[in-house]
Structure 1
């Protein structure tokens, strides 16, 4: 299976290192990507928006010989869903890693712009629920892997126009939420809840981690990804 691994904000292809290796060892063709403008100064990245990130993944889908699996971590989930919307007949499954399908017109979040780009704000910026399993040693090891992102991208609205995306099978690997818990909350999330309810084939699986399982529990994430990739579609 062709698998495209899309990192979240501030991360590049190297953030998927152990995951990419595990998927390839299992016989899959796994390709981790670095999205356009990541780590580049404003002179290079200033004009880039979410559509450019989606286009980069769409080009990889078009180059594949068969339908692909898209894996999107955090803000990379927006990119994955935008690409699934652009090529719903070429995506076999979307796997969200600690994020949910975005609603049409939504952004990722807002962060401080410095010198025309958005630098990594540091691990202490995030709430404890997002970083509780990143100890001091792991934070020190991973912080140098972070890069700036284009200033427009985190707030740029995602363009979703093809309702066929709702037929693409979805697996959501959530750090702390299982399916009953998520579904007890989802209707309070406005248009995000509407997008979730429109999915025809969705499975939510609890990882038992904080927000960066590829760093904190890579073996668990690898196992759950392989299970999701091999999961048969529901047929609904």
Structure 2
């Protein structure tokens, strides 16, 4: 059984508008693997940072790499990366630059980005940040199913506007070794079957999935934020992925 002495480093990376706090309900269920677990607040998403709007995609990549170093990730002891939603930008770059440091990536209602892709490439240069939209507007983009009213209240109160440069900048990827990193897709608002059909049809959101050499699909039916709607079940999935060998 995996325990704190044998668990690989585990890094939890939240999506847009979120800090490390977004994983709180999951972390409490992660024992006994939480000895080397770290939930991140990426640069640009720290409410106490007066310069948060100026942080870049490269800043976020650097923060993930620094965390891997702090947790002792190495070629001999690679980490498990868990990436939710819009964290796919910096995590895709980490996989490209340092595939040897990752034993498995777990995409939570997300997936790898293609080189040259950006979340909002046409965002005007005059825009400095993207605040959390009203929930009726957000629900048109991503399912809010399963989040209780108090969860939505917390989301609204703690969300930090996403730096525009992060969503405007394209990810630049050059190393095909990233396709060999074992991958798990945790499919929530879109079923695994739908995701694979979209990938095979060349849909830009999931086209990279067809190039992965070792991919598993796990369905966790709920909305786009399973860390709040089904935290125990998500923790169980993460713990199982941590326990797997490379």
Name the TM-score, length of structure 1 as normaliser: 0.87
Structure 2 counterpart of 1:95: 106
Counterpart position of 1:154: 167
- Per residue, is there more helix in 1 or in 2? 1
Secondary structure at the residue paired with 1:106? coil
Task: Work out which of the residue numbers 68, 82, 92 in structure 2 matches 1:61.
Answer: 68
Q: Show CA shifts across 1:133-187 (max 9, x none).
A: 2243331233212112212111211121111101100101010444433222213
1:30 aligned to 23, 32, 37, which one?
A: 37
Could you tell me which residue of structure 2 aligns to residue 116 of structure 1? Answer: 128
Equivalent residue runs for 1:35-54 within 5 Å: 35-39=42-46, 44-54=51-61
Is the contact between residue 44 and residue 56 of structure 2 (CA under 8 Å) also seen in structure 1? no
**Bigger shift: residues 103-112 or 31-40:** 103-112
For the Cα contact (< 8 Å) 1:39–1:147, is it kept in 2?
A: yes
Question: What residue is the counterpart of 1:229 in the other structure?
Answer: 242
Change (3 A) 1:48 1:62: same
Matched length? 233
Aligned equivalents of 2:28 and 2:124: distance in 1?
34
- For 2:95, the equivalent position in structure 1 comes to 84
Q: Distance in 2 between matches of 1:193 and 1:149?
A: 23
What TM-score results when the alignment is normalised by the length of structure 2? 0.84
Query: What is the CA RMSD across the aligned residues, in angstroms?
Result: 2.6
Q: 1:208 aligns to what?
A: 221
Q: 1:216 to 1:193 in 2, by over 3 A?
A: closer
* 1:180-208 deviations in Å (ceiling 9; x for gaps): 33222213344555421111101111111
Shift of 1:60: 1.9
Give ranges in structure 2 of 5+ residues lacking alignment. Answer: 1-7
Equivalent position to 1:20, from 27, 49, 55: 27
Question: Cα gap change, 1:168/1:47 in structure 2, threshold over 3 Å: closer, same or farther?
Answer: same
